[in-house]
Chains A and B, each alone.
Chain A
Amino acid sequence: MMSKLWRVAAHEYRNHVLNRGFLFAILSVPLFLGLMIGMGIMTDLMKQDGRPVGYVDQSGWLSEPVAPPADRGSPLTRLLERPVSLIPYDSREVAHGALEAGEIQAYYVLSERYSESREVELVYTRPPGENATERFEAFLQVNLLADQRPEIVHRVVSGSTLVVRTPDGSRELVEGQVMSVLTPILMSITFMILFMATSFTLLQAVVKEKENRTMEILATSMSPEQLIGGKVLAVVGMGLTMFVSWIALIALALLFAGHVLGVEWALQIRIAPSALAAIALVAIPSFVLYCGLMTALGSTVADAQESQQLGGLITLVFGLPFYGVVALVEQPNSPLAIGLSLFPLTALMAFCLRVSFSTWPVWQLAASVGILTLSALGSIWLAAQAFRRGMLRYGQRLSWRELVSSSAAPQSSGAPAVGGR
């Protein structure tokens, strides 16, 4: 019994994984992320202006200015940022003349009472680039701290660090580590992409077997449970392969960004192991449930096109928590959040969205995993029933009413199978 299930799983896994489409699917997410980051960098570069920035010190406070260190920022920042030089002007008129002539992109005016008021005026014809304002702010900071001890300078430059801890102290969020918050949300999006990419493959495989008439041969070689179980197992394996590949590629990219390019946040992503374990516990039965429903769908519809349309509806329900993301973030322990976490179709996304902002009682996790596991097994059973009844209905759809009503009398379908009588 089990050996045939594994044979189907091995065959299907090999079929799905060892092809160019799968390689493309594995590379698609990192490529997509790379493209997004690249576009972000391009947008950032477009905001920069390489022309100098002027300043007029009416207070005389900067009579002997200290230049800010030139090597601030990561290697990536240094690579991408256009350096801006600072030019002192004696008077507002001269500086304005330079601005009008386009020699500088803007100029700052320190008021006569700057020492007391810290009042600075920025004059420009078009808003200066971010690199210009950052450069001038660093310049002011260095000069304001010029007579302080290095450790005080360091502390002031570092600024404050806000740490948010859950009441039980099990989890904390450190200011600046935004990626730690975003990662579970990104994971939920990744799960959705993963589910769609892999289970559509499963769905199409089932429909294809109906279309190319392999079904009848398979059905006389093994039970529907073996066939469907094997297929679902293969797709779950394929999904895990894809997921692990994505994680590995992203981890490599982060390590590269952190160690080679000096992107600090890349090395600061922290997710509590307990949260990861919880997500894994919810994700695996969710995946099986999704695959089971997709297979049931594939066995009931007439062709691949119809299967894709209806498959989209199931995906929509799985992604439902995204539409309530604000409510989930604001009140992660509200009845809505708990309900979505317990409802099998939305549990995974709800947990992924809640994990960044709250903790949940163990009973919720246990109940959710329990409900999901039962639902996943139920979906396999349903898929096997649908397969049993729909396998010989080439080009015909099996209605859900037929599927449910005939469960007590197997194979008493309501319309003749194509291919003779």
Chain B
Amino acid sequence: MNPVEVSHIAKSFGTTQAVADVSFSVQRGEIFGLLGPNGAGKTTTIRIMLDLFKPDRGTVSILGGPMSEEKKERIGYMPEERGLYQDISLERCLTYLARLKGLSAAEAKRRVLEYLAQFDLTPHRTKKVKELSKGMQQKAQIINTILHDPELVIIDEPFTALDPVNTQMVKELMRDLRARGKTIIMSTHQMHQVEELCDRILLIDDGYNILYGDLDQIRRQYSGNQVLVRAASELPRVPGVEQVGQHNDAIKWTLSPGTTPQTVLKALMAQDVALERFEIALPTVEEIFIKAVEEGAR
């Protein structure tokens, strides 16, 4: 059974429909991207999954059934609205929150010290949380999310306020968690991170599923009318090419409807062009995102 199964959930707040009909499942050991424009219903969906809100209709199965107090200890959650106790020391704050996740005092302390060292926060462990920089607080928040070794990690905008070095570290951490069989649900607006990390995605807009499935398949599904070509000599004119553009060291051809990459390739081969590169141009997640949302709006 999948760690997360969400089936046709809906949630309204007064007259505002936050989630209209959202369904998805998250497989064990994958990084799942929950995407959508602002106000799409991502946060409400997450809060319904975590039993912070009850859905008006639909069902949620998390770690094999409804949410329970015991399951809370198997889930790590980093909310969009960050929050740590500001007036106590970093070490004490993390140790206390880890203990609320079921760790013993000794184990919580041991893990806190370990993670503080890993995240270069050891020199700041006795400082009050409010004395830390935004980036440090973000790292502390991430530590808090994974400290108790959860099976399921739900993480909202994990890279906000992180510098490139720490962003890389968090990415490696997420890959490491995935390698250890942990399931990660990541909600973010940083599409290049999605492209780099996620195995599958769900794009929601206006409370509905817009796009859902394997990321590579989706990119292939959205490709087909563009190819990247590089040749040793100048490229000849080929019928069916509507638009010519530059893409790094290659030329990007946008094909007219009815023209396939195979047709173009045959035409190039027929003209005996010495090709160095010919590939179907996969759209970026950002392009897919924009296109899917625009299509959804129509």
Contacts A212-B86, A217-B79 known; A415 to B100 CB distance under 8 Å? Answer: no
Q: B97 — which chain A residues lie within 8 A by C-beta?
A: 217, 221
Q: A414 — which chain B residues lie within 8 A by C-beta?
A: 13-14
- Greatest chain A CB density within 10 A among B42, B43, B50 is at B43
The stretch of A61-69, A165-173, A291-299, A405-413 that contacts the partner chain? A405-413
With CB as the reference atom, state the residue of chain B lying closest to A219: B52
CA distance A213 to B43 in the complex (A): 14
Residue pair A419, B40 in contact (C-beta under 8 Å): no
Say whether B81 faces chain A, with CB atoms less than 8 Å apart: yes
Residue pair B81, A421 in contact (C-beta under 8 Å): no
Residue pair B82, A213 in contact (C-beta under 8 Å): yes
CB proximity of A378 to chain B, nearest CB, Å: 22
Query: DSSP majority for the A interface?
Result: loop
Say whether A222 faces chain B, with CB atoms less than 8 Å apart: yes
CB proximity of B228 to chain A, nearest CB, Å: 36
CA distance A221 to B53 in the complex (A): 15
Contact of A15 among B19, B88, B207 (CB under 8 A): B88
CB proximity of A75 to chain B, nearest CB, Å: 48
CB interface residues, A 1-52, toward B, < 8 Å: 1, 4, 7-8, 11, 15
Q: B82 — which chain A residues lie within 8 A by C-beta?
A: 213
Contacts A411-B53, A415-B14, A417-B47 known; A222 to B38 CB distance under 8 Å? Answer: no
Say whether B128 faces chain A, with CB atoms less than 8 Å apart: no
Interface residue count on the A side (C-beta < 8 Å): 36
Say whether A218 faces chain B, with CB atoms less than 8 Å apart: yes
Residue pair A421, B14 in contact (C-beta under 8 Å): no
With CB as the reference atom, state the residue of chain B lying closest to A419: B81
Q: A416 — which chain B residues lie within 8 A by C-beta?
A: 13-14, 16, 18, 44
Residue pair A214, B52 in contact (C-beta under 8 Å): no
CB proximity of A157 to chain B, nearest CB, Å: 62
Interface membership of chain A positions 285-312, coded 1 if the CB is closer than 8 angstroms to chain B and 0 otherwise:
0000000000000000000000000000
CB interface residues, B 67-85, toward A, < 8 Å: 69, 72-73, 75, 77, 79-85
Q: B40 — which chain A residues lie within 8 A by C-beta?
A: 421
Say whether A274 faces chain B, with CB atoms less than 8 Å apart: no
Q: B28 — which chain A residues lie within 8 A by C-beta?
A: none
Residue pair A213, B83 in contact (C-beta under 8 Å): yes
CB proximity of A77 to chain B, nearest CB, Å: 49
Say whether B41 faces chain A, with CB atoms less than 8 Å apart: yes
CA distance A46 to B207 in the complex (A): 79
CB proximity of B52 to chain A, nearest CB, Å: 6
Interface membership of chain A positions 220-241, coded 1 if the CB is closer than 8 angstroms to chain B and 0 otherwise:
1111001000000000000000
CA distance A394 to B80 in the complex (A): 13
Interface membership of chain A positions 175-218, coded 1 if the CB is closer than 8 angstroms to chain B and 0 otherwise:
00000000000000000000000000000000001001111111
CB proximity of A224 to chain B, nearest CB, Å: 10
CA distance A366 to B39 in the complex (A): 55
Say whether A361 faces chain B, with CB atoms less than 8 Å apart: no
CB proximity of B132 to chain A, nearest CB, Å: 13
Q: A4 — which chain B residues lie within 8 A by C-beta?
A: 100
Contacts A221-B100, A222-B100 known; A421 to B44 CB distance under 8 Å? Answer: yes
Residue pair A420, B83 in contact (C-beta under 8 Å): no
Q: B42 — which chain A residues lie within 8 A by C-beta?
A: 420-421
With CB as the reference atom, state the residue of chain A lying closest to B100: A221
Q: A222 — which chain B residues lie within 8 A by C-beta?
A: 69, 72, 100
CA distance A93 to B204 in the complex (A): 109
Interface membership of chain A positions 377-421, coded 1 if the CB is closer than 8 angstroms to chain B and 0 otherwise:
000000000000001101000000000000001111111111111
CB proximity of A14 to chain B, nearest CB, Å: 9
CB proximity of A308 to chain B, nearest CB, Å: 19
Residue pair A421, B52 in contact (C-beta under 8 Å): no
Residue pair B47, A217 in contact (C-beta under 8 Å): no
Q: A217 — which chain B residues lie within 8 A by C-beta?
A: 77, 79, 83-84, 97, 144
Interface membership of chain B positions 76-108, coded 1 if the CB is closer than 8 angstroms to chain A and 0 otherwise:
010111111110100000001101110000000
CB proximity of B58 to chain A, nearest CB, Å: 14
CA distance A64 to B56 in the complex (A): 102
Q: A419 — which chain B residues lie within 8 A by C-beta?
A: 43, 79-81
CA distance A219 to B84 in the complex (A): 13
CA distance A417 to B52 in the complex (A): 11
Contact of A421 among B39, B73, B101 (CB under 8 A): B39
Contact of B38 among A214, A410, A413, A420 (CB under 8 A): A420
Residue pair B79, A213 in contact (C-beta under 8 Å): yes
- Greatest chain A CB density within 10 A among B44, B47, B86, B207 is at B47
Extra pairs beyond A213-B83, A217-B144, A221-B101 (8, CB < 8 Å): A7-B99, A212-B85, A219-B52, A221-B73, A392-B47, A413-B53, A415-B14, A421-B207
* Sample (11) of A-B pairs whose CB atoms are under 8 Å apart: A217-B97, A220-B75, A221-B73, A221-B97, A411-B53, A412-B54, A413-B53, A417-B47, A420-B42, A421-B40, A421-B44
Q: Which 8 A-B pairs have the closest CB atoms?
A: A213-B83, A420-B43, A416-B13, A214-B83, A221-B100, A213-B81, A216-B79, A421-B18
